[in-house]
Amino acid sequence: MTVRVKILAISASLLLLFAVVLVGSVVMQKQSSDKVAAIIDFHLPLAAAIADLDVATYEYELGLEGVNKVYGTTVILAEETHGLAQHAIEARELDVVIVAGKSEPVRIFELVGRAGEVEPPVLELRDLYVEGLEAYRRQGWDAAERRFAECLRLRPDDGPAGVLRGRSVGFRAAPPPDWDGVWRLAEK
């Protein structure tokens, strides 16, 4: 085999390798684009619908911006906004809070998805959480802790269940005086 044939063989091999990498890159980019498009298709219409409904509750919703960080959620709705959107969305009640700088408690909800389009395991998690929340509100700390622990077994990264499980454990050790079921947030 001459040097010229060897160089041509190596060049052909490199071109083939380049083509494989290029095709793989295009396929991966397409998959990523599809995932981003799916997220946009899901969240933008919901955000727009909520924004349309949010005229009456805008002032209070602004106070809830930092609450997502506390509960480890993406979209939290005040009770009034939830009431206006409940025909179009699935949500789970998270808590009743008083945001720093406000004096009135508000029931808050996590946006779960579009009505009728939420997977059964997510609805099961929501229902378990509601049972835990009911026990939490009536100071049934053991029952609340068990329900929130079940939520975490279903979805270990569930922020709201982790937060309320932690509170339930703490309240079992040192029950809060004058419990009214309202959590007071120190900061917005």
| 64 and 31 in a common domain | no
| 66 and 33 in a common domain | no
Of 53, 69, 88, the position where a domain reaches its end is 53
Give 76-113 pLDDT, tens digit per residue. Answer: 888 888 888 888 888 999 999 988 888 899 899 998 88
Domain count, the chain: 2
| 120 and 74 in a common domain | yes
Q: In the predicted model, what is the mean pLDDT of the chain?
A: 82
Please provide the DSSP assignment of 106-139 as one string: EEEEEEEEETT-S-HHHHHHHHHHHHHHHHHHTT
State the pLDDT confidence band at 114, using cuts at 50, 70 and 90: confident
| 76 and 25 in a common domain | no
pLDDT for res 75: 84
| 73 and 29 in a common domain | no
Of 12, 30, 53, the position where a domain reaches its end is 53
Q: Give the domain range for residue 44.
A: 1-53
CA distance to 10, 12, 25, 108, per residue, from 160 (Å):
58, 57, 38, 11
| 29 and 65 in a common domain | no
| 69 and 29 in a common domain | no
| 94 and 120 in a common domain | yes
Is 0.85 surpassed by the pTM of this model? no
pLDDT for res 150: 97
Q: List phi, psi (to 5°) of 60.
A: -75, -35
pLDDT for res 35: 59
Give 119-128 pLDDT, tens digit per residue. Answer: 999 999 999 9
Q: What's the whole-number mean pLDDT along residues 54-68?
A: 57
| 106 and 66 in a common domain | yes
Q: What's the whole-number mean pLDDT along residues 129-151?
A: 97
Q: In a 3-state reduction of DSSP, which class is residue 41?
A: helix
| 87 and 142 in a common domain | yes
| 76 and 38 in a common domain | no
The better pLDDT of the pair 169, 43 is held by 169
| 120 and 42 in a common domain | no
Q: What's the whole-number mean pLDDT along residues 144-164?
A: 96
